Amino acid sequence: DTAVSQTPKYLVTQMGNDKSIKCEQNLGHDTMYWYKQDSKKFLKIMFSYNNKELIINETVPNRFSPKSPDKAHLNLHINSLELGDSAVYFCASSQGSGQVQPQHFGDGTRLSIL
């Protein structure tokens, strides 16, 4: 069974559209994250949620709105997509803050803006 699953795997859409990416983890973790990996492969944290509460919002534009309906899910909604949003978005989870145990990652969602 996949521990952290993201859907969709690929997302191709036009500039200005609104889209959502879903993430679910079945590890029983209480913390979930969204990361963005750009074309240079740099992985940067966007958000982290602990027990459904927002802990980190790393100066991400307001067009990005995460939602955590429960501890096992963290979805990402993006409004008014821009060319610069093209990237791979990774969801991850950990127990606690990740200081003691490693984070587990999904396979990523490849977002391409036309």
CA distances from 52 to 30, 36, 48, 114 (A): 8, 20, 9, 33
Please, which residue, 15 or 55, has the CB nearer to another protein?
A: 55
CB of 16 vs another protein, minimal distance in Å:
28
The window from 14-22, 59-67, 68-76, 98-106 that contacts another protein (CB under 8 A) reads 98-106
Q: What is the distance between the alpha carbons of residues 36 and 86, in angstroms, rounded to a whole number? A: 9
CA-closest candidate to residue 3, choices 30, 28, 35, 20: 28
Q: How far is the CB of 27 from another protein (least distance, A)?
A: 13
When asked if residue 106 is in the footprint of another protein (CB under 8 A), the reply is: yes
Q: Could you say which of 13, 19, 22, 45 contacts another protein (CB under 8 A)?
A: 45
Q: State which of residues 55, 61, 79, 80 lies at the interface with another protein (CB under 8 A).
A: 55
CA distance 54 to 39: 27
